[in-house]
Amino acid sequence: MAPKSGAWWRSLQRTLGIDDDDEKGPGESDADFAARILDRYLELNPQGPTAAQTAADNALDRQHAQLISGMDNASREAINRAQIAAQKALQDTRFTFDERMQNARIAADKEMQNLGFTHAEKLQAVEIAAQKALQAERLAQEREFREEDQKIERQKTFTEMLGNDPVRAALFALGISGDPLTGGDPKQNLEALEGAEEFAGQTEQVLGGLLNQGLGADEKARGPVTLGQTGVQGLVPIEKTARTFAQGSGNTRKLLTSAFGVGDNSEGGAGGIDEDEVFRRIAAVTPSGGGKNVVR
């Protein structure tokens, strides 16, 4: 028969409202068993880890209130110190989970000694602290996994964007979001993808060189091309790029079309234009309408 789980884990199961018939498997450590209980709880609560943590924390807060009910101030302060000491011990990842539990009990006992606490009260104080620490640790892992999945999805999206819209792809890689740049929530704070700054710098350099080809010496002093929160700064009127656009390669036209598609969205900036407008304006200033024959 599988070994019975101890009172600590039974308390965790009751706190989370999990079936008490669940048992530790043969050779399963306390840490693995607790993780399985929390996994089961998250499975039963599809509203997500944040809501799950809130519900579990509320249950633990109720246990804590029951524990200190009727105690004097000195005892309550000792309980609080004991739980803080226990949580600190449980966060020390140099030790195994079972060792951290033992250290938590020792740390809590030091804060509660000589105050007349019963063994049951000491154990319950450590249990509450340990359950909170375990929940926080498990949910931190969940967040880490979600963030890693998000990075993979963003890398995939970047690769897909790169072939058709390289400037917008560079902004996306930098973590810039929100219409009209890359779509999404403009308030979302995304980390830059690996190599994003280097790629954006190369894009700025190449784009700046292409834009300068149709300019006179005075016009070239306008400043560098930069990519940022408001799109592309340093653009020139699109008509100035007609010769470069008409004579350039497919990649040249793609980069220019992408840059003018994003546009300068700062106050007073020209904003972005769609691909049809790009080709229409290039054709309008190309001798003999040659721009109309540019292959997209």
> What does the domain layout of the chain look like in residue ranges?
7-148, 163-293
pLDDT greater at residue 262 or residue 104: 262
Q: Which residues of 111-138 are buried (b: 16+ CB within 10 A; e: fewer)?
A: bbeebebeeebbbbbbbbbbbbbbbebb
Angle at the Cα of 261 from the Cα atoms of 255 and 265, rounded to 5 degrees: 120
Collect all residues with Cβ–Cβ distance below 8 Å to 181 and sequence separation of at least 6: 168, 171, 231, 262, 265
Question: What phi-psi label fits residue 4: left (phi over 0), alpha (psi between -120 and 50 degrees) or beta?
Answer: beta
pLDDT greater at residue 209 or residue 16: 209
Contact call for residues 136 and 153 (beta carbons, < 8 A): no
**pLDDT band per the 50, 70, 90 thresholds, residue 57:** low
Collect all residues with Cβ–Cβ distance below 8 Å to 45 and sequence separation of at least 6: 51, 52, 55
Radius of gyration of the chain (CA): 31
- pLDDT (tens digit per residue) in 235-278: 988 998 998 988 888 999 999 999 999 998 888 888 889 999 99
The 10 Å Cβ neighbour count of residue 178 is 15
Name the strand (E) or helix (H) holding 65: helix 49-68
Collect all residues with Cβ–Cβ distance below 8 Å to 189 and sequence separation of at least 6: 175
In the chain, at which residue ranges do the beta strands (DSSP E only) sit?
226-228, 231-233
- Tokens representing 264 are 């300068």
- Tokens representing 25 are 């498997």
Q: Indicate the range of 72-76, 167-171, 180-184 predicted with least confidence.
A: 180-184
Contact call for residues 68 and 76 (beta carbons, < 8 A): yes
Total-model pTM:
0.57
The partner residues of 285 in beta bridges, in order of sequence, read none
Angle at the Cα of 65 from the Cα atoms of 61 and 69, rounded to 5 degrees: 175
CA atoms within 13 A of residue 8's CA, in its CB half-sphere:
20
Q: Indicate the range of 15-19, 179-183, 205-209 predicted with least confidence.
A: 15-19
Query: What was the pLDDT predicted at 168?
Result: 93
Distance CA 92, CA 144 (A): 19
Q: Indicate the range of 8-22, 82-96, 102-116 predicted with least confidence.
A: 8-22
Give me the sign of the Cα torsion angle 220, 224, 228, 229.
negative
- pLDDT (tens digit per residue) in 164-177: 999 999 999 998 87
Report which of 55, 64, 57 is spatially closest to residue 83, judged by C-alpha positions: 64
Q: What is the mean pLDDT of the chain?
A: 77
Query: What was the pLDDT predicted at 198?
Result: 93
